Structure 1
Amino acid sequence: MKCEIEFMAVGEAAKAGDAIIVRYGEPDAFGLMLVDGGHASTGDRIVSHLRRNFTSRVVLEHVVLTHSDGDHASGLRTVLREIPVRNLWLHVPWLLAEQSRHLFLDKRFSQEGLQNKLMAEYGIVAEILDLAAAAGCKLHYPFAGERIGPFTVLSPSFEAYRYLLPQFDRTPAADQAAIEQAGMWIGKRTVLDRMLEAARAKVQSWTEERWDLERLRDGGLTSASNESSVVLYGSFEKGPVLLTGDAGIRGLTWAANAADALGLPLQSFSFVQIPHHGSRRNVGPTILDRLLGPKRPQGSAPRFSAYVSAPADDADHPRRIVLNAFKRRGGKIIATQGVDRCHNAGFPGRAGYGPSEELPFFTTVEEYT
C-alpha cells in the first residue's frame, strides 16, 4: 500500500498546531484520512486544500483527533461542517469519566455531575460531537490495538487513559495518592509552572553540541493531556510510519511496548513525526534509541524522514537539541515553518510540492535552564 503524508502549516509565533492529511492505497483507489485539525482558522485551509486536490466531492474516510487540546481540535469543526466524514476517532472525556471517577479527589461527584463538569470544560469536543452526530458520522474511541485504515493505534490504552484523565489541566483535582499507587502519576502543571516556563524561554542561553556529544536528557515531563495523544503505526510498502501527536516519553514508551506485543517492528520507520512541535520535554535518548535505533556514525545517509510542525516565527520550537537527536539516529529533518510539506511514498508527484529542504545539524543548541 502506498501513502502520501501532508503536513499543513499551522499557527503563528508560539501558537503551533497540527493538521496532517494522509492519502493511502493506490493512485486509482485511495482513501483519505485527517489527523488533527489545527486552530480554528486552519479548518478553512484544510477544506479548500481537500477540494482543490481531491475534487468538490471529496470524502474523508477517517478523522482522528489525537487529543483534546485546542491547537489540534479547533479546526475540525469547520471540516465536519463542510466535508463528509465516515468515521470519527477521538477520546471524549465526559463519556469516559465514570471509569475514572474514583481517581478524582472529590469523592462526592456523581457520574452525572462529573460528566457535566467535564463537558463544560471541553466545549470544542462537544461541538465536534454534535456536528458528527448531525452528519451521521460513526464515532470510535482510538485506544491501543484499534485499526484505523492502514494504521494501528499503539497508545494510549484504555487503562492508561483512565488514569491520565484526572490529571488533565482542565479536569477537577486528582486523587494523587491513588494514582501514584498505580504508578501512573504524571501531575498537573500549575499556572506558576507555565509562567516559569515562559520566563525561562525568554532568557534562553546556548551551548555547544557535537555529533559525539548529545546534550538531550532523559526524564522530560509533558502534560497528561499530551501523554494521552493517539500514537499511530502505519504499515506501508515503503516502510512503516509513526505519527506521534504530542505524546511524551510515557506515551511513546507505551507505544513501543504495544508495538512489541503486536509484533510491529521498531527502528525501521520510513517516516516519523517529531512529537509536540519539537519540544525537548517529550523525548529523550533512551526512548529515541528504542524507537529509532542507536546513534549512527557522523556522515551516515538518512534512513527515514522526520517531520515537525512548527511556525516559521516560533523562537522556541522546534528545539535544535531535539532535531539533532533525530538526525543522529538517521532522520532527514523537515520542518513546516510556515510552508505545507508533503512526504510522498508511491503516489504520483503533486503540483506545488518539490523537494523539501533538510535542516542541518546544529553546533549550538539550547541550554537547559
Structure 2
Amino acid sequence: MGYEVDFLGVGDESKSGDAIAIRFGNLHGGRDEQTVVVIDGGFKDTGAALVAHIKEHFGTDQVDIVINTHPDQDHINGLETVLDELDVKELWIHQPWEHNQGLAQHFKDGRVSDCSLGERLKQNLEKAWSLVQLAESKGVVIREPFTGEQDTSGTLKVLGPSLEYYESLIPDFEGMPERASITEAVQSIFDKAVAALKRFFATWGDDQINDEGVTSAKNNSSVITQLVIDGRRLLFTGDAGIQALEMAADQVDGCTSGAELKLMQIPHHGSKRNIGTTVLNRLIGHPVIQGESRGITAIASTAKEGEPKHPRKAVMNAFTHRGVGVLATRGNAILVNHDAPQREGWAYLEPEPYHFEYEDEEA
C-alpha cells in the first residue's frame, strides 16, 4: 500500500491553521482500492481550496472520513464547505455537549445545571454544533474519536484523547462559568502580547525547549491519530500539548505492529508550549550525531507570515538534532508520499538547516 499526505498552505498572513488531505491504499489502482481522509479544514476560505485539491490530485469527490481535531476556527471553519461540496461518508468529531452528565459539580455557581452547561457548550462551540447538524442532515455517519477508534481496515487509529481525559478537560474549556482556567488565561495574554525579540545561540543536541510548556484545555482535547502503512507510522497531532502527547506515546509504546515513525505533524504549528524534551525522546529518540538521519519527516502547518511564533526555531531545532528532516508550510502546500504516482509540477523540498543562531520572542 502507498500513501499521499498533503499539508495544505493555510494562512496568507500571520494566522496559522491546519488542513490535511490524505489518501492511502493502492494508489496505482482505482478509487475502490483507496481511502481518502481529511484532517481539519483550516479557515472558512480554506474549505474551497481543500475541495479543489482533492478533486484535482485525488481524482474524486468522495471522502471516506473527515476528522476535526478540535473546534478552533483555524481547524474547523473550512469543513462546512467540505461537507457541502464533497460526498463525505463519516465525520469524526467530539461533541462535548453530550458529555455534560455531572458537569455542574465542577463549578461553584449552584444555579448552573448539567442541562444548562450542555446548552452553553453548544453556543460556545457553535461551529462544531452546526457541523454536526449539517452532517446529520446529509446522512453522514458521526463518530466521536476517542482512544482506540479506528477505520474498518485498522490502518487509521485514534491514539488520543481517551474519553476520561477528554471529559476532564471540558470544565476548563473557554466560556465555562466560575472555574476560570489559569492555562486559558495565561495563553490568552501570551497570544495578545507583542513580545520583544531576543537573539538566541544554539548548540547541536541541546534542547532550548523544556517539559514545562502549557496549552489550553481545548488544544489538549485534539484528536491524535496514526496511520500504519507498509510498516511506516504517520502521526498527526493537531494542537495537542505535552500531557496529551505523553498519553499518545503510551499508545505507541503498546503497539505491536513494529511500524517505524516516518512522518509526524509538529503540534500547534510549531508552538514552543506544545512539545517537550521528554515526549520527543519517547516518540522519536534522543539527539543524534550531527549529519545522522533517522529517515523521519516532521511538518509544521504555518502561515505565510507566522514567524517567529509559528514555527519556533527552538522547536524546529529539537526535531532536527534528533535526525528528523523538518519542514514548515509557510502558506504553501507540502506533499509527502510513498509508493504513489509521481505528481507533475511538484518538486523535492530540502529540509530546514539547523538554526545555530536565530531571533525569537523571549517568552
TM-score (ref. length: structure 2): 0.92
Which of 231, 236, 253 pairs up with 1:260?
253
Paired position in structure 1 for 2:56:
52
> Identity of paired residues, percent?
34
Alignment partner of 1:89 is 2:81: no
Which deviates more, 46-55 or 242-251?
A: 46-55
Residue 128 of structure 2 corresponds to which residue in structure 1?
125
Other-structure match for 1:153: 158
Q: How does 1:177-192 map to 2 (within 5 A)?
A: 187-190=182-185
Instruction: Tell whether 2:340 aligns with 1:342.
Output: no
Aligned alpha-carbon RMSD (Å): 1.9
- CA shift, 1:109, in A, is 2.5
Alpha-carbon spacing, 1:63–1:197, altered in 2? closer, same or farther (3 Å): closer
Task: Tell me how far apart the structure 2 counterparts of residues 321 and 254 of structure 1 sit (CA, whole Å).
Answer: 23
Taking a change above 3 Å as real, the CA distance of residues 161 and 100 of structure 1, as seen in their structure-2 partners, is farther
Runs of at least 5 residues in structure 2 that lack an aligned partner in the other structure: none
Q: Residues 341 and 133 from structure 1, CA distance in 2 versus in 1: closer, same or farther, beyond 3 angstroms?
A: same
- Distance of aligned partners of 1:24 and 1:101 in 2 relative to their CA distance in 1, 3 Å threshold: farther
Does 1:226 pair with 2:219?
Answer: yes
- Partners of 2:80 and 2:191 lie apart in 1 by 31
Over 3 Å counting, the alpha-carbon distance change for 1:292 and 1:117 in structure 2 is same
Q: Distance in 1 between matches of 2:114 and 2:188?
A: 31
Q: Which amino acid aligns with 1:22?
A: I
Cα shift at 1:169: 1.7
- Of 154-163 and 299-308, deviating more is 299-308
Q: Deviations over 1:125-148 (max 9, x none)?
A: 122111101110000000001113
The structure 2 residue matched to 1:73, chosen from 76, 83, 88, is 76
The DSSP-based 3-state class of the residue aligned with 2:22 is: strand
Q: Deviations over 1:86-111 (max 9, x none)?
A: 01001012112225343334343233
Q: Which amino acid aligns with 1:26?
A: N
Aligned counterpart, 1:116: 119
Q: State how many pairs are aligned.
A: 355
Cα separation, partners in 2 of 1:108 and 1:273, compared to 1, 3 Å: same
Q: Is the 8 A contact 1:18 1:71 kept in 2?
A: yes
Q: Does 1:328 align with 2:331?
A: no
Instruction: Find the counterpart in structure 1 of residue 266 from structure 2.
Output: 274
What's 1:301 paired with?
A: 293
Cα drift, residue 187 of structure 1: 4.1
CA contact (8 A) 2:4 2:338 kept: yes
Bigger mean CA offset, 10-19 vs 282-291: 10-19
Alignment TM-score, normalising by the size of structure 1: 0.91
Deviation of 1:78 after TM superposition, in Å, equals 0.7
Q: Which amino acid aligns with 1:287?
A: V
Amino acid of the structure 1 residue aligned with 2:131: I
C-alpha distance after superposition, 1:120-178 (max 9, x if no partner): 1111112211110111000000000111352211110000000101111233333x8xx
Residue in 1 that maps onto 2:16: 16
- Please state whether the residue corresponding to 1:34 is helix, strand or coil: strand
Kindly provide the amino acid, as one letter, of the partner of residue 14 in structure 1: S
Match of 2:169 in 1: 164
Task: Give the 5 Å matches for 1:97-112.
Answer: 97-98=100-101, 100-112=103-115
Would you say the 8 A contact 2:195–2:362 is kept in 1? no
Runs of 5+ unmatched residues, structure 1? 177-185
Alpha-carbon deviation of 1:367?
A: 5.8
